Amino acid sequence: MYFRGDIKLIQMVKETKLTKLQIGQRICAMRKQKGLAQEDLALLVKMSRPSLTQVELGKRGLDIFELQRLSIALEFSLDEIMSMEFTSMSELEKKEAKQVTQKSERNSKPKLQINKFKNVLIYILEHCAGKPNVGETVLNKLMYFSDFNYYEIYEEHLTGAEYRKLPYGPVPQKLETIIHQMIEENQIQRLKTNYHNLAQNRFIPLVKADLKSLKASEKEVIDKVIAQMSDWSANSISAYSHNDMPWKASKEGDSINYELAFYREAPYSVRNYAEDTVYEV
């Protein structure tokens, strides 16, 4: 049941020409002006942080009740936020819009580089294949964090693999096809083993990675992922991946958007945003 004021607001929202992205930019800018983290604002408005992330990215709309709660938390009027002449924080909004524009100009849509993917996989196996915990599940997550950490730092793709959100964590698409090719080309060997009484697919490298195909920056990111996570069990690394913002903010079965890496917080974020460092590739 709506009250008269609610009906007026609903009509105003319907008549606005603002896009979801413009509304999201304004919400994000005002949140930052208030000095609120996404998690803090999400709690105030009774929304999950992944949902708020999608709103700020312009990937999700808001209903009238969510708008009302946001207006109270951020202390703005709905007339103001929905106005095409919204100028109360023009400089902050321009800065935020510029950042979004820069992100949209990046090639966020990954394009798989099969040879690079194979070389990264072989490189990881060279360092980890001897570890009994590194089966297919752990290998998938090591690939995922290598790809998304690299994108967060350098704003370009490492392997260009697309990852899908599945119950056990992110998994590279076309993985089985690539694995089959590598087995046929005698680059890796698949072993079926048992680990803690559970069936496990393991892979052994039969060739060495072509290090000339990996830039120093790429190798550095992969090495850090290996050092941090290669001793984790399949359950531990899967659970860890479930709290990474790109996975949390994606829908079950959908491809995971690389841009969500820029919404990470500790301990997942790997880029020093405070210093706005320029990285040499």
What CATH number does residue 38 fall under?
Answer: 1.10.260.40
Question: Which residue's entry shows tokens 């096809």?
Answer: 177
Same structural domain, 118 and 246: yes
* Mean pLDDT across 4-24: 62
230 assigned to some structural domain: yes
H helix or E strand, kind and range, residue 239: helix 234-241
270 assigned to some structural domain: no
pTM of the model: 0.68
190 assigned to some structural domain: yes
Same structural domain, 178 and 58: no
Same structural domain, 174 and 222: yes
Same structural domain, 95 and 217: no
The answer on pLDDT for 117 being more than 90 is yes
pLDDT of 280 reads: 35
Instruction: Using the 3D structure, point to which of 105, 127, 156 is the last residue of a domain.
Output: 105
Question: For residue 102, what are the CA distances in angstroms to 36, 113, 201, 273?
Answer: 23, 23, 41, 15
Counted domains in the chain? 2
Domain that holds residue 165: 114-263
pLDDT tier, 275 (very low <50, low <70, confident <90, very high otherwise):
very low
159 assigned to some structural domain: yes
278 assigned to some structural domain: no
> How many C-alpha atoms does 65 have within 13 Å on its Cβ side?
5
pLDDT of 278 reads: 36
The answer to whether 255 and 247 have CB atoms below 8 angstroms apart is no
269 assigned to some structural domain: no
Tens digit of each residue's pLDDT (9 = 90 or more) over 91-104: 444 555 555 545 54
42 assigned to some structural domain: yes
DSSP strand pairing (163-166 vs 169-172): antiparallel
277 assigned to some structural domain: no
Same structural domain, 247 and 120: yes
Same structural domain, 220 and 89: no
Which carries the bigger pLDDT value, residue 72 or residue 160?
Answer: 160
Q: How is residue 211 written in tokens?
A: 């290090």
At 97, the amino acid letter reads A
pLDDT tier, 76 (very low <50, low <70, confident <90, very high otherwise):
confident
Same structural domain, 71 and 203: no
Same structural domain, 151 and 29: no
Same structural domain, 96 and 127: no
Same structural domain, 146 and 55: no
pLDDT of 77 reads: 75
The answer on pLDDT for 226 being more than 90 is yes
Tens digit of each residue's pLDDT (9 = 90 or more) over 29-53: 888 888 888 888 888 888 888 888 8
pLDDT of 276 reads: 42
Tens digit of each residue's pLDDT (9 = 90 or more) over 181-223: 999 999 999 998 888 888 889 999 999 999 999 999 999 999 9
* Mean pLDDT across 48-77: 84
